[in-house]
Chains A and B, each alone.
Chain A
Amino acid sequence: MIITLQLELIVIAMMAAVACCLPGVFLVLRGVAMMSDAISHAILLGIVVMFLMIQKLHSPLLLVGATIAGIATVVCTEKIIRSKRLKQDAAIGLIFPLFFSVGVILISQYARNVHLDVDMVLVGELALAPFNRCVIAGIDCGPYALWVVSAALLLNMIFVRLFYKELVITTFDATLATMTGFSPAIFYYALMIMTSITAVATFDVVGSIMVVALMITPAATAYLLTRRVPDMLMASVFIALCSSIAGYAVAYYADVSIAGSIASMTGVFFVMGLLFRKAVTCGLLTSFCVISRNLL
């Protein structure tokens, strides 16, 4: 029983990590990485509003509400940027605290007696995920989180596979994309919807700050180490998998927060990438030459 629980935990963590890093690669390439931070905070408002409407805590509709809130954040931020009155970073930093605050006030006004904590959204606890079982017709079908996260992962894989060419061309050359008939705006919003869905599916298990860690850090590490998008995708998936396994192992032996330790691990891998990027991109011999030249 204990072993299956742990196995489930590791599988959920690995799936969440891979699901997050797929859209993360394109966010990092486009320079809108902080949007993942904004989306993962704004989710709170969607959950609260949906909860007040249907009065149920465990309903898939809450996830729908959260996704809508995520998309609303992106649309509002884009509106402000388009008006040219404020720069991108200011627009991002303005909208999500507002959404978050409205969520907090709604909770404290109408949902004080319900188990709907704000730090649940921010922090999350992976260790509890296997206890929320998905039971269909009396048969235990594994943890609820496992299904949600794997659905998000599948969706992301299909999206990236189907629209890989479009995503790459709109990311690197919006003008060329427009000329060849792909609308950069459509793919920008599609990417943002994908980010929202992923954030919503995974924040429940790892917390919203960890979503940011898993989306940005492996992709950024891969960006340091590779020159081509397919390599970057593979590398970031590999790094995400390694950090979720290593993070889980550390959390298990040191008995600390799993989500926090996975996030720290992505940081450790980033530092390693930073140190060894020359060795990976230029080959071992070149990097040895560079190091020895610097030393001499």
Chain B
Amino acid sequence: MNYTVLLVLQGAVLLGITSGALGTFALLRQQSLLGDAISHAALPGIVVMFLLTHSKNPWILLCGGALAGIVGVASVQYVCTHTKLKKDAILGIILSVFFGFGLVLMTVVQKIPVASQAILNKFLFGNVATLLAHDVCVIAVISLCIFAMLILFWKECSMYVFDPVFAHTIGCNTKIIEMILTMLLVLAIVIGLQTVGVVLMSTMLIAPAAAARQWTVRLSRMLLLSSIFGGGAAFIGVYVSSLVDHIPTGPAIVIVASATVLFSLMCAPKRNIG
């Protein structure tokens, strides 16, 4: 196995493990599509960052993306609490309007001589093939941070996921827990944008958790299984795409992850809680 494939493997597996873990919380809170909305909403942030800095370093651009993602989540929360609109309509609005605004900004970028038109393509499909050693380091650090936070706030998070009212009653600040979980989600999506791209990020968050949900009824085991499924799917996907010519990495990972879900839906014996 050559050096490039090894790097891609490390990056993708780290993403799979992290997004598997966070996907557990997203799935249980019925916020699976929030990931999709955040990843689309990141586009204007990325482009604005490019316009401001003219930098080609993906991580600087992704900082802008993370900020825009946070603005997107905040708008979803605001509209959700202040109107009677249903959650999925709000997600759809934020997703499409932010993305549309990003496209407008993209056409502004394309008029600048130094601009690299490849931003949009990288953003849509990730650029896992050009991953460098220090990119993998950044991904590793972000993943470590995410897991550290999850372990630190494990008790609070699990209580909040299953019974937010109880958590609030016994004195937990639910707003802060909600914020922490959302921030972690945004961080995971930032790694995902760099590796699998915007459309496929939704699967990385949902599929491992959905598969794990079928096998167990305990949160800790579900999180563990979900991370294993995510990492495993990423591993197999990258491996297959490195063996066969012209199989893009992101879609390969998605197909393996979806196959895991299908298998779990068909075969999992223990599933008895709706």
28 contacts between A and B (CB under 8 A): A27-B89, A33-B88, A33-B89, A34-B91, A84-B274, A89-B88, A90-B27, A93-B206, A94-B207, A96-B202, A97-B203, A100-B254, A101-B250, A102-B251, A102-B255, A104-B125, A118-B124, A119-B120, A209-B40, A209-B99, A210-B100, A213-B93, A213-B96, A220-B85, A220-B90, A223-B85, A260-B103, A277-B83
> Are the CB atoms of A260 and B104 closer together than 8 Å?
yes
B168 CB–A CB distance under 8 Å: no
- The one of B100, B200, B247, B274 in contact with A213, judged by C-beta atoms closer than 8 angstroms, is B100
Q: How far is the CA of A10 from the CA of B252 in the complex (A)?
A: 40
Contact with A along B1-36 (1 / 0, CB 8 A): 000000000000000000000000001001111011
Q: Is the interface of A mostly helix, strand, loop or mixed?
A: helix
Which of chain A's residues have a CB closer than 8 A to the CB of B111?
255
Contact with B along A270-282 (1 / 0, CB 8 A): 1000100100000
B53 → chain A, closest Cβ, in Å? 21
> Are the CB atoms of A34 and B92 closer together than 8 Å?
yes
- The one of B32, B104, B248, B261 in contact with A264, judged by C-beta atoms closer than 8 angstroms, is B104
Binding site for A on B (CB under 8 A): 27, 30-33, 35-36, 40, 79, 82-86, 88-93, 95-104, 106-108, 111, 120-121, 124-125, 199-200, 202-203, 205-207, 209-210, 213-214, 246-248, 250-252, 254-255, 258, 261, 265, 271, 274
Contact with B along A257-276 (1 / 0, CB 8 A): 10111111011001000100
A109 CB–B CB distance under 8 Å: yes
A294 CB–B CB distance under 8 Å: no
B45 → chain A, closest Cβ, in Å? 15
Q: Quick one: given A89-B32, A118-B124, are A83 and B265 in contact (CB under 8 Å)?
A: yes
> Are the CB atoms of B124 and A122 closer together than 8 Å?
yes
> Are the CB atoms of A85 and B265 closer together than 8 Å?
yes
Q: How far is the CA of A251 from the CA of B209 in the complex (A)?
A: 42
> Are the CB atoms of B199 and A97 closer together than 8 Å?
yes
Which of chain A's residues have a CB closer than 8 A to the CB of B88?
31-34, 89
In the A-B complex, the 5 residue pairs with the smallest Cβ-Cβ separation, listed nearest first, are A263-B100, A260-B103, A267-B97, A101-B251, A213-B96
- The one of A80, A209, A223, A277 in contact with B96, judged by C-beta atoms closer than 8 angstroms, is A209
